[in-house]
Amino acid sequence: MPQVIRARLMGFCMGVRRAVEMAMEAAEAGGRVYTLGPLIHNPQVLDSLANLGVGVLEEEALLGPALNQGKLRGATVLIRAHGVSPGIEARLREAGAFIKDATCPRVKANQIKARALSEGGCRLFLAGEKRHAEIIGIQGYAPSCRVVADPVEAAEAAAELFREAGGARTALLGQTTMSVEEYRAIGEEIRLKFPDLVMVDAICGASRDRQDALTELCAQVEAVIIAGGRESANTRRLLSIAQSLGKPAWLAESADDLIDEIRAYSRVGLSAGASSPDWVIEAIERRIQCLG
Ligand code: SF4
């Protein structure tokens, strides 16, 4: 029977755990409940919420007939950990919805900083993926900010601003899940034009901490299982880290995904992406221990 060794840190991060708990509480309180977009990248959690009657409302619907038909009047709408723009919150209130705000406190802090810097006359750069919900939400707090995905775009945006307003006060904020190295590289490019750039401490360590714990785990085991959704970027990143360290590694969305090959190993490591609930991780662990 394989021995299972768990990573010292894995699974839900603080912001996701809080959002899932708030959604469950809202569902149990009764009434019509929606999340604004799928709450997390995990099919089991989404199924559990759907079974509790929680619907998913797409942001585009806020611009369309759902509002006109009064669908949201008196309903509870939960804002997920990525947060939304103040404009979307205003639309929800206008529609008569009761807002339950599960924006991760780290994301909320960045939203507030973006507004304060922008209103204080700073020219703001925002490092991250242009179409990511977190970035779109923060843009709502600082509409004139320049979104840059990588150091090349940062250099272009800085050169453009330099032509327009050389010597301006500038600041850099970033998507919480960006790597510290990438964030620093973006900041260095902007500093070539704006040496006094203020770099806000915007990055969350949750993903990095899970990656470091997995690296330690790989030194102690023969093979690795990563629990998590296939759509989850941080889960796939964990899988590639284990593989790059030379370990046979597999991704499992549920215990049913485990394959027989695991029987061949006596010490199996277990880690999980930031959107994997404890009960799925535990079910996978029990199933591995039953393989004999
Ligand atoms: S990764 Fe960090 S910022 Fe994002 S939800 Fe989790 S705790 Fe919050």
pTM above 0.75, yes or no: yes
| Spatial contact of 77 and 128, defined as CB atoms under 8 Å apart | no
Nearest atom, ligand 1, residue 205 CA:
2
| Closest residue CA from atom 8 of ligand 1 | 15
Give all strands of the β-sheet with 146-148 in edge-to-edge order: 146-148, 123-127, 170-174, 198-199
Q: Provide the CA 272 distance to its chain's centre, in angstroms.
A: 14
Tell me the mean pLDDT in the region 24-51: 91
Query: Cβ neighbours of residue 134 under 8 Å, at least 6 residues apart?
Result: 82, 83, 107, 128, 175, 176, 177
Output the six-digit token pair for 97. Answer: 């919805």
Please give the C-alpha separations between residue 221 and each of 5, 20, 226, 266, 292, in angstroms, as whole numbers: 8, 31, 13, 8, 17
Residue with CA nearest ligand 1 atom 2 = 204
Alpha carbons 99 and 101: distance in angstroms, whole number: 6
What separation in Å is there between the alpha carbon of 238 and the centre of ligand 1?
Answer: 16
Q: What is the pLDDT of residue 59?
A: 77
CATH 3.40.50.11270 in the chain is located at: 14-102
State whether the beta carbon of 174 lies less than 6 angstroms from ligand 1: no
Cα of 14 vs centre of ligand 1, distance in Å, is: 6
The residues annotated with a catalytic role in the active site are 134
For ligand 1, say whether the CB of 106 is within 6 Å of any of its atoms.
Answer: yes
pLDDT at 202 over 90: yes
Rg (CA), the chain: 22
* C-beta of 20 in contact with ligand 1 (< 6 A): no
Q: What are the tens digits of pLDDT across the range 49-79?
A: 999 999 999 877 776 665 656 888 999 999 9
Looking at 3.30.420.480, 3.30.1300.30, 3.30.540.10, 3.40.1010.20, the CATH number of the domain 106-199 comes to 3.40.1010.20
CA nearest to 141, candidates 175, 121, 111, 110:
111
CATH domain 14-102 topology: Rossmann fold (3.40.50)
Nearest-atom number in ligand 1 for the CA of 81 is: 5
Query: Could you read off the pLDDT of 155-166 as tens digits, one per residue?
Result: 999 999 999 999
Angle 166-172-177 (CA atoms, 0-180°, nearest 5)? Answer: 155
**Is residue 193 classed as helix, strand or coil in its secondary structure?**
coil
The encoded tokens of residue 274 equal 């930031």
**What is the pLDDT at residue 148?**
98
The set of residues, in sequence order, having a beta carbon less than 8 Å from that of 163 and lying 6+ positions away, is: none
The full length of the chain comes to 292
Tokens of 130: 């242009």
Query: In whole angstroms, what separates CA 149 from the centre of its chain?
Result: 16
Counting from 1 in the atom list of ligand 1, the atom nearest the Cα of 106 is 3
For the chain, residues classed under CATH 3.40.1010.20 are 3-11+206-290, 106-199
Centre of ligand 1 from the C-alpha of residue 16, in Å: 7
Residue 179, pLDDT > 90, answer no
Q: Identify whether the C-beta of residue 169 lies closer than 8 Å to the C-beta of residue 196.
A: yes
Cα of 164 vs centre of ligand 1, distance in Å, is 35
**What is the number of the ligand 1 atom nearest to the C-alpha of 134?**
4
Cα distances (angstroms) measured from residue 137 to each of 59, 143, 276: 11, 10, 24
CB–CB of 214/243 below 8 Å?
Answer: no
- CATH 3.40.1010.20 assigned to 3-11+206-290: yes
Computed over every residue of the chain, the mean pLDDT equals: 93
In the DSSP assignment, the letter for residue 280 is: H
Decide: residue 82, CB within 10 A, 0-12 exposed, 13-18 middle, 19+ buried: buried
Q: Is 14 in the pocket of ligand 1 (CB under 6 A)?
A: yes
Kindly report, residue by residue over 190-201, the tens digit of the pLDDT: 999 999 999 999
